[in-house]
Amino acid sequence: MKIYDWHIAPNPRRLHIFLHEKQIEVSLEEVGQADLTLSPDFKERYPHAMVPMLELDDGTCIGEVMAICRFFEDLNPEPSLFGKNAKERALIAMWENRANEEGMLAASELFRNTHPAFADRGLPGAPAAIPQIPELQIRAKARLDRFFNKLNQQLETSQFLAGPRFSVADITALCAVDFAKWSKVEVPEDHPHLLRWYAEVRSRPSAKA
Amino acid sequence: MKIYDWHIAPNPRRLHIFLHEKQIEVSLEEVGQADLTLSPDFKERYPHAMVPMLELDDGTCIGEVMAICRFFEDLNPEPSLFGKNAKERALIAMWENRANEEGMLAASELFRNTHPAFADRGLPGAPAAIPQIPELQIRAKARLDRFFNKLNQQLETSQFLAGPRFSVADITALCAVDFAKWSKVEVPEDHPHLLRWYAEVRSRPSAKA
């Protein structure tokens, strides 16, 4: 099997951290280019044109980062990053989804609707031109404000995002917080619980994977 | 346990279909109101202010519809709607995520940025006012075009969205197609494979749950 990768991009980073935490090694092929586009060969092979993508030895293409992570969790259950019982799994899935929809997608919206290299790529994976919408900058910042508030509240009483153990919810939230920094949006100083968690998760060796 | 419900809304519908397919009965409490807002009592109990929400007997609140569905799949594995082996589960998770991010979120973006009742609620679950962005109408329609094209291509060679068996990916995609209709966006007639699938899944008894 092989992972098609764009090493600097936020969604591939979720997978790198996951694999490092699980101590799984998979061969990687870099398909990101210096001009911040994906290689034409990759887009031809995989018209969804998003990374990461896992190609199995039988040719099956598995996209969407959490689908890939779940595949590896099935093959290598320990250490569990999706939870060990029904309730734990549900809470991790809930916070992971929230970190994605309210964090990652907001940071992506902000970056893609402001960065000059994405002038006609306001959405990921688009085969056609999708112009930027400058008004989304304000909305995306409001989304990130809400996201930071939610995280700070949750982390006041919870060591990690979905409970006492590190999970995929923390991976997605960490990548979202760091992705927001690409657009110069930082965690506000009056969010002590979020900052405590952020210092903790970013100092794990996996955060540099 | 109890589900806080808004019976007409698209995300609760994903859960209704899922529970009907699994033949699981759970007591429901309606928290949607005639003015298309959620009841103040519910928002106080659950500040994320989104439906559906599953409250367990120990008071645990599980939000995010796929987290709730996974919880019930864990408790009642048959019939499986998330897949029976690692590869099947990954493909279902991939297509479900795609149906959500490229279908449901696009239909939601279109509806929330056009309907007068959502003038200051351009995003779900917002405690603060999020004004509509009319330009998102064009973008959301382009997103739905892409989504319909992807589905039509996939369904040319696949009976259901993620393979030969009905799964949560079909549930999310069906709800996305129907949600788009709220904004008068229909599957184009030159998408025969998507239309074949749509006729099939909407005629299942669960589609009326």
Residue spans of the domains in chain A: they are 2-75, 86-208
pLDDT in tens, A142-158: 999 999 999 999 999 99
Domain covering A86-208 assigned CATH 1.20.1050.10 in the classification: yes
Q: Do A130 and B139 touch (CB under 8 A)?
A: yes
What pLDDT sits at residue A120?
A: 87
How does DSSP assign B6-73, residue by residue? Answer: -TTSHHHHHHHHHHHHHT---EEEE-B-TTSSB-HHHHHH-TT--S-EEEPTTS-EEESHHHHHHHHH
Place of tokens 């994903």: B14
Give B158: exposed, middle or buried? Use CB within 10 Å, 0-12, 13-18, 19+. Answer: middle
pLDDT in tens, A149-186: 999 999 999 999 999 999 999 999 999 999 999 999 99
Residue B99 has pLDDT above 80, yes or no: yes
Q: Do A64 and B93 touch (CB under 8 A)?
A: yes
CB crowding B29-63: b at 16 or more within 10 Å, else e: eebbeeeebbeeebbeebebbbbbbbbeeeeeebb
Q: Do A123 and B139 touch (CB under 8 A)?
A: yes
Fold that domain A2-75 belongs to in CATH: Glutaredoxin (3.40.30)
CB crowding B176-204: b at 16 or more within 10 Å, else e: bbebbeebebebeeebeebbebbeebeeb
CA-based nearest residue in chain A for residue B122: A139
Q: Cβ contacts (< 8 Å) between B62 and chain A: which residues?
A: 87, 90-91, 94
Q: How confident is the model at residue B120 (pLDDT cuts 50, 70, 90)?
A: confident
State ipTM. 0.97
Q: How confident is the model at residue A55 (pLDDT cuts 50, 70, 90)?
A: very high
A190 HSE (CA, 13 A, CB side) = 2
Q: Do A87 and B60 touch (CB under 8 A)?
A: yes
Chain A residues interacting with chain B (CB cutoff of 8 angstroms):
48, 54, 56, 60, 62-64, 66-68, 70-71, 74-75, 85-87, 89-91, 93-94, 97-98, 101, 105, 122-123, 126-128, 130, 133, 135-136, 139, 142-143, 146, 150
Q: CB–CB of B208/B109 below 8 Å?
A: no
Mutation choice for B interface testing from A60, A94, A123, A137 by most B CBs within 10 A: A94
Q: Do B67 and A93 touch (CB under 8 A)?
A: yes
As a whole-number percent, the residues of chain A with pLDDT over 70 amount to 99
What pLDDT sits at residue B123?
A: 84
CA distance B21 to B169: 13
Same topology, domains B2-75 and B86-208? Answer is: no
Strand B2-5 relative to strand B27-30: parallel, antiparallel, unpaired? parallel
CA distance B147 to B156: 14
- Two tokens at B184? 């008068």
What pLDDT sits at residue A152?
A: 98
Residue B169 has pLDDT above 80, yes or no: yes
Q: How far is B196 from chain A (nearest CA, A)?
A: 22
What pLDDT sits at residue B65?
A: 98
- Report the mean per-residue pLDDT for chain A: 96
Q: How far is B59 from chain A (nearest CA, A)?
A: 12
Q: How far is A131 from chain B (nearest CA, A)?
A: 8
Q: Do B66 and A91 touch (CB under 8 A)?
A: no
CB neighbours of residue A23 within 10 Å:
10
- A86-98 and A168-182 helices cross at what angle (nearest 10)? 10
Amino acid present at B206: S
pTM: predicted TM-score of the whole model, two decimal places: 0.97
Q: Cβ contacts (< 8 Å) between A87 and chain B: which residues?
A: 56, 60, 62, 71
Residue B128 has pLDDT above 80, yes or no: no
Residue A75 has pLDDT above 80, yes or no: yes
